[in-house]
A and B are shown apart, each in its own frame.
Chain A
Amino acid sequence: MKLIELDKITFAYAPDEALVLREFSLSVGEGECVALLGDNGAGKTTLFRILNGLSFPQQGSYRFDGVEITAAYLKKQADQKRFHKRVGYLFQNPDVMLFNGTVYDEIAFGPRQMGLPNAELEARVGDCLDLFDLRPLAGKAPYHLSGGQKKQVALAAVLALNPEVLILDEPLAGLDRKTQEKLLRLLRELKAAGKTILIATHDPEVSSALADRSVVLEKE
């Protein structure tokens, strides 16, 4: 059985607006890495919102690990939290992900809620800080960081939850070459560790270096 199954989903933001996705189908197996390519406005971010249960298709179905993800399903708090724990989402704009006072608190936000013992929590946050060389910034306000640093803090905050699926909306955009290479190495390691990864990118090099297969979305 596939982990993610989208069956002929159709989506528009309003009834009188143009369709963003029309009868789109996609299956992703556990541990697979799929790159989504497409022009601006082709529907990559919309698709990611659907995969994260932030929007729901008007037609078709979305099944995650065999369970159909609907608004009614995610209304149940336990199901919603379990689902969000399993699926991590890096927004295209990291600014919308950072709302804590310090970088440390930002990364610790998820693990704190999981009720991890203090020592484990500190170790987990420390590991995430080290992954991105963020220790010197731990006490700083995320708002005042540069764009690239914000993106790394946002990704560290997602990884701190240890999700099984990583949905990354243009994670390398706006980063310098060195940071891009560092991030690509990290993503390869995560893939090798069995994480399922969906990545939206404009860069064919990224998809060829990382993805098992690519899916091209075309504008309606």
Chain B
Amino acid sequence: MIPNWMRSTDRYVPPRDGGTFAIRTIQSLGGVMSRLQVQRGQQQGRALPAFWKLLLLLVMLVAVSVLQNRLALMAVTALVLGTLSFWPAKRLWQTLKSALAAAGLTLLLLLPAMLLHPAGASNQLVIVWKVFLSLTMLNMFNRTTQWNEITTALRRLHVPGIFVFTLDLTLKYIVLLGTLICDLLSALQLRAVGRHERKYQSVGGVMGVTFLRSAELSRETYEAMVCRGFTDDYKGL
């Protein structure tokens, strides 16, 4: 039998309530996490096996970071941009976008030093150049290699199985956890119909549930893998 107050309509005028900053911040963070999809490698650039691509990437990253000779850096840049020039415009822009943004941010951070010590400005510009180059190469690798090929390549490079497993699960579940955070905060928002005195307690609750759920998800996945014959010898999923 439902109580009497459920049979009538509440006369309710919501009071003013401020300070939703923490909730909005976490909501946008969850939104970003839920959109993080592990990139699916495209057909283009898949002629080279993932193992060799990964090896080449590591060598190139180390080379770019230690190279002092600008002519050699220019050669690497020409090689990278030359390869990219064969890509469709949309993918080219997607690949360069984040590298350009990171290079721009680096330039912004180094700007005061460049203004205070103009003599060293050219060296600092090399750092910006290296950031752009490294990220472009990483993006190229990411866009041409499927995630399961990367995990297999990591194992072939003798990276410990537990490391690959953790990395794999983290990337797979970060999207799920982002969605969970968004849903929890939506549910909170739908029931936050008045003055919310305990905002930080609720935010703590959301984060706590997310943490518990992530632990549960990884345990369940591990158990499911064991049931299907996984023996801690990680060969890539």
Contacts and interface: CB of A to CB of B under 8 A. Distances in A.
Interface of A: 52, 54, 77-78, 81-82, 84-85, 88-89, 91, 93, 95-101, 109-110, 112-115, 124, 127, 131, 143, 157-159, 161-162, 164, 186, 189-190, 193-195
A156 to B, nearest CB: 11
Contact of B190 (A84, A99, A114, A190): A84
A127 B5 contact: yes
A84 B186 CA distance: 11
Interface string B218-237: 00000000000000000000
B212 interface: yes
Given A77-B17, A96-B184, A189-B1, A84 B193 contact: yes
Interface stretch (B8-16, B123-131, B139-147): B8-16
A157 B12 contact: no
B2 interface: yes
Contact of B14 (A85, A96, A159): A85
A78 B191 contact: no
B187 A115 contact: no
B4 to A, nearest CB: 9
B213 interface: yes
Contacts of B2: 131, 186, 189-190, 193
A78 B205 contact: no
A161 B212 CA distance: 27
A83 to B, nearest CB: 9
Nearest to B10: A162
B195 A162 contact: no
Contacts of B10: 85, 114, 162
Nearest to A113: B194
Contact of B205 (A100, A158, A159, A186): A100
Interface residues on B, range: 35 or more
Interface in B156-199: 180, 183-184, 186-197
A164 to B, nearest CB: 6
A89 B193 CA distance: 13
Contacts of A110: 191, 193
Contacts of B196: 113
B209 interface: yes
A78 B13 CA distance: 8
Nearest to A193: B7
Contact of B5 (A82, A113, A124): A124
B186 to A, nearest CB: 5
B191 A162 contact: no
